């Protein structure tokens, strides 16, 4: 395969709601570029893009797939992405890599939740978007309504370049108001005739053309002036205006296609090659230090790895974009993440699972390398001596958690190894080995997301795992002052044990002055603080420990043992065994025995006194509460609201945003188990949400009651 220069390259990511037709569009593009001579279908499990077994089983894309095709003496790199929100990680990395997003829209439904979600990611990454209105051959296709739905979000930036003449089952013709031509397609091969616009369509076509001219002029002052002077713009001027608008995200051009029947696909590709600037004509990007890195072949080499995967037969494969310079087969580069040397002994361009060896790739191009030693997603490789390093990709927060366990205990170690690998392949899968919950917690984007991982573990790595309800990291604290004494005494034969501790405990409040006097149960206890230890707890909150011993009733050397005993109970709270937090303890009296007192006795006395005091101090269980944002179509708003209310939520606000309703609420984590699945079934997959940790809050009395009972039962069983 020949080497393509930067100016011959275009990089696009196909985005859109699940089922909008991205994979079929990719297939059609491969067909137009003669990478394949027959188009595969989803149903026959024969597309280039959905080549993995799990995608074929599910009849949908799950991973991003890199493809390329040669067209008009250019190389079009296409990244097909999954449309389900569960796999948003693949969308983010693809969109980051591509220079343009082609947002595929199903003309039966118009704007869908996937359009909304991925549109936001494109906005965040500042990527230009081209709309491809697909499924126009469907009986229920409605182009005008689709455009209206897009305008709710994108307003007058929606610039219609084409409209269908005969949408529906007989769809065959498109009018292109940039070229002022009609394209008529025969059969399903993309073969087309270029015709003059028929007289009866001319008034509409001219009206649409005027609208497009105005949109094109709007993004360029010089063009605007010309437009005012001449009342029109030439085709080239329009193209220039569209180009400026597209790059600045001031204009979103709309194309008409039927991916399945190859209608309009070639014209869309022509537009991408003719109008969209090549990577070296786009503004330079910045590396992590803010240094501008130009997409220039004559600059030092730098590559950014956007995807690491394990493929059968070849092992680990890294997909990268050449950010600057060029990379040749056999070249040595430095991984700036770990300073390791990597030899790129073989370079490939890929189209699904088909790899073609190449000798060189220029700035802006996308390729793959195998057998790298220690290179993964988000790493930068660069020429020795150049310290170029790109900012890692940032992914949306996890919104689904489950506990995982190998069914066969002997697989536990292997499970850990493969989970780490899964995280490297898909950073939206996160793993926490929770000492606190005594569980391995997996985090992901949805139940489906983690079920795919389960399938992979079983089918690719032969590890059978089960998912269990994840425990909730509750916290325990107190709400009032309490006092307790405890004497630990043991006399059995030889050396005895003796230690007595008197303490007062109270809630910790930031910046509160040290204690002087307590009133507990009508009794006054004066204290004299001799020493303070303020311990920030690993799990959040604080423990403040005051030594208020006067007159040597307990030797200073036993204080650490008392604190140790208290800490043991802080780590395994008296109510439910959860971590305790935000407590002040004052040790103000006690007793020693000249022979029998030792550390162990004081540790036990401290622990038991603390437990007793804790139970009398208005103890409360606290639970993690998350801030949740749900985006839902208006007709499902009521159902989603009442479901949220059943989950002990506090609704913070509601507003309409770009054709969707947005609900902000605070929801306890315990009520969010499998929320993504319920939301999906409540709205037929038309809603989405995100969540982030907010704070710890006291659980209501009835919930506390249940938790206490459950802990008691659990403890009895043990």
Ligand X SMILES: Nc1nc2c(ncn2[C@@H]2O[C@H](COP(=O)(O)OP(=O)(O)OP(=O)(O)O)[C@@H](O)[C@H]2O)c(=O)[nH]1
Host H or E run for residue 182? strand 181-185
Q: How many CB atoms lie within 10 A of CB 233?
A: 22
Residue (82 or 325) nearer to ligand X, CB = 82
The residue from 6, 17, 61, 84 that contacts Mg ion (CB under 5 A) is 61
CB-nearest residue to ligand X:
83
Residue (50 or 342) nearer to Mg ion, CB = 50
Least distance from C-beta 42 to ligand X, angstroms?
Answer: 4
The count of C-alpha atoms lying within 13 angstroms of the C-alpha of 241, restricted to the half-sphere facing its C-beta, is: 28
Sequence-ordered list of residues with C-beta below 8 angstroms from that of 703, at least 6 positions apart, any chain: 621, 623, 670
Residue (25 or 625) nearer to ligand X, CB = 25
Total site size for Mg ion, rule CB under 5 A: 3
Q: Which does 138 bind (CB under 5 to 8 A by kind): Mg ion, ligand X, none?
A: ligand X
Interior angle at CA 140, CA 138 and CA 143, nearest 5? 85
Residue (134 or 280) nearer to ligand X, CB = 134
Residue (604 or 687) nearer to ligand X, CB = 687
Least distance from C-beta 80 to ligand X, angstroms?
Answer: 7
- Interface with ligand X by CB under 6 A: which residues? 16, 18-24, 41-42, 60-61, 82-84, 134-135, 137-138, 258-260
Least distance from C-beta 427 to ligand X, angstroms?
Answer: 20
Q: Which does 16 bind (CB under 5 to 8 A by kind): ligand X, Mg ion, none?
A: ligand X
The sign of the torsion formed by the CA atoms of 518, 520, 525, 528 equals negative
Q: How many CB atoms lie within 10 A of CB 359?
A: 12
In terms of Cα–Cα distance, which of 291, 286, 288 is closest to 392? 288
Least distance from C-beta 303 to ligand X, angstroms?
Answer: 28
Which 3 state secondary structure label does DSSP give 161?
coil
Least distance from C-beta 183 to ligand X, angstroms?
Answer: 16
For 65, phi and psi rounded to 5 degrees? Answer: -125, 130
Q: Please, is 702 exposed, middle or buried when counting C-beta atoms within 10 Å of its C-beta (0-12, 13-18, 19+)?
A: exposed
Does position 23 bind Mg ion by CB under 5 A?
yes
Residue (24 or 174) nearer to Mg ion, CB = 24
Stretch binding Mg ion (CB under 5 A), from 58-66, 261-269, 586-594, 605-613 = 58-66
Does position 601 bind Mg ion by CB under 5 A?
no
> Which residue is associated with the tokens 């009835």?
702
Residue (22 or 321) nearer to Mg ion, CB = 22
In terms of Cα–Cα distance, which of 185, 176, 150 is closest to 260? 185
Residue (24 or 130) nearer to ligand X, CB = 24
Least distance from C-beta 445 to Mg ion, angstroms?
Answer: 17
How far from the centroid of its chain's Cα atoms is residue 630's Cα?
15
Least distance from C-beta 402 to ligand X, angstroms?
Answer: 23
Distance CA 363, CA 366 (A): 9
Least distance from C-beta 43 to ligand X, angstroms?
Answer: 6
Interior angle at CA 394, CA 386 and CA 78, nearest 5? 80
Q: Which does 367 bind (CB under 5 to 8 A by kind): ligand X, Mg ion, none?
A: none
Sequence-ordered list of residues with C-beta below 8 angstroms from that of 493, at least 6 positions apart, any chain: none
Least distance from C-beta 80 to Mg ion, angstroms?
Answer: 6
Residue (82 or 101) nearer to ligand X, CB = 82
- H runs (alpha helix) in 357-503: 412-425, 447-459
Q: Which residues bind Mg ion (CB under 5 A)?
A: 22-23, 61
């Amino acid at each position: 395969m020949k080497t393509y220069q930067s100016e011959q390259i275009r990089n696009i990511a196909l985005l859109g709601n699940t089922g909008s037709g991205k994979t079929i569009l990719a297939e059609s593009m491969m067909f137009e570029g003669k990478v394949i001579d027959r188009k595969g279908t989803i149903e026959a499990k024969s597309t280039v893009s959905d080549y993995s077994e799990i995608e074929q089983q599910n009849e949908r894309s799950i991973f991003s797939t890199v493809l390329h095709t040669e067209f008009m003496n250019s190389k079009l790199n296409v990244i097909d992405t999954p449309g389900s929100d569960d796999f948003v990680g693949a969308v983010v990395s693809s969109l980051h890599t591509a220079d343009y997003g082609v947002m595929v829209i199903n003309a039966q439904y118009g704007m869908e939740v996937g359009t909304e979600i991925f549109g936001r990611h494109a906005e965040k990454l500042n990527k230009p978007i081209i709309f491809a209105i697909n499924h126009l051959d469907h009986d229920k296709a409605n182009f005008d309504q689709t455009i209206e739905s897009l305008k709710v979000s994108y307003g007058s930036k929606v610039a219609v370049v084409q409209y269908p003449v005969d949408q529906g089952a007989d769809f065959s013709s498109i009018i292109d108001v940039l070229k002022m031509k009609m394209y008529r397609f025969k059969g399903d091969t993309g073969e087309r005739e270029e015709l003059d616009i028929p007289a009866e369509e001319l008034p509409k076509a001219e009206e649409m053309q005027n609208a497009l001219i105005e949109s094109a002029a709007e993004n360029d002052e010089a063009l605007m002036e010309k437009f005012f002077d001449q009342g029109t713009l030439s085709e080239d001027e329009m193209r220039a205006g569209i180009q400026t608008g597209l790059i600045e995200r001031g204009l979103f051009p709309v194309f008409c296609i039927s991916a399945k029947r190859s209608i309009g696909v070639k014209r869309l590709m022509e537009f991408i090659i003719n109008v969209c600037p090549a990577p070296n004509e786009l503004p330079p990007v910045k590396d992590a230090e803010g240094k501008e890195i130009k997409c220039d072949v004559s600059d030092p080499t730098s590559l950014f790895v956007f995807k690491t995967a394990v493929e059968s037969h070849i092992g680990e494969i890294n997909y990268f974009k050449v950010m600057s310079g060029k990379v040749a087969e056999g070249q040595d580069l430095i991984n700036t993440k770990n300073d390791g040397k990597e030899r790129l002994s073989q370079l490939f361009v890929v189209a699904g699972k088909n790899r073609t060896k190449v000798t060189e790739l220029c700035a802006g191009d996308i390729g793959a390398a195998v057998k790298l030693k220690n290179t993964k997603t988000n790493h930068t490789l660069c020429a020795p001596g150049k310290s170029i390093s790109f900012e890692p990709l940032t992914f949306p927060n996890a919104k689904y958690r489950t506990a995982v366990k190998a069914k066969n205990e002997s697989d536990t170690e292997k499970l850990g190894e493969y989970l780490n690998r899964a995280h490297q392949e898909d950073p939206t899968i996160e793993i926490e080995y929770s000492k606190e919950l005594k569980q391995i917690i997996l985090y992901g984007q949805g139940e489906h997301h983690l079920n795919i991982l389960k399938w992979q573990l079983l089918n690719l790595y032969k590890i059978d795992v089960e998912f269990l309800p994840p425990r909730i990291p509750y916290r325990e604290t107190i709400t009032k002052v309490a006092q307790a004494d405890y004497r630990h005494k043991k006399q059995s034969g030889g050396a005895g044990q003796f230690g007595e501790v008197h303490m007062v405990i109270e809630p910790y409040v930031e910046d509160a002055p040290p204690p002087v006097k307590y009133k507990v149960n009508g009794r006054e206890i004066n204290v004299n603080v001799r020493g303070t230890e303020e311990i920030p707890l690993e799990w959040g909150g604080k423990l403040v420990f005051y030594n208020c011993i006067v007159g040597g009733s307990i030797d200073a050397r036993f204080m650490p043992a008392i604190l140790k005993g208290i800490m043991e109970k802080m780590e395994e709270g008296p109510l439910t065994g959860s971590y305790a937090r935000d407590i002040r303890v004052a040790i103000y009296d006690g007793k020693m025995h000249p022979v029998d007192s030792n550390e162990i006795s004081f540790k036990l006395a401290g622990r038991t006194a603390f437990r007793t005091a804790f139970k009398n101090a208005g103890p409360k269980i606290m639970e993690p509460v998350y801030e949740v944002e749900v985006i839902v179509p208006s007709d499902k708003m009521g159902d989603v609201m009442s479901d949220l209310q059943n989950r002990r939520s506090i609704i913070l606000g509601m507003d309409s945003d770009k054709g969707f309703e947005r609900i902000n609420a605070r929801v306890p984590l315990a009520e969010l188990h499998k929320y993504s699945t319920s939301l999906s079934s409540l709205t037929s997959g038309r809603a989405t949400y995100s969540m982030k940790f907010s704070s710890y809050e006291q659980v209501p009395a009835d919930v506390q009651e249940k938790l206490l009972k459950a802990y008691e039962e659990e403890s009895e069983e043990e």
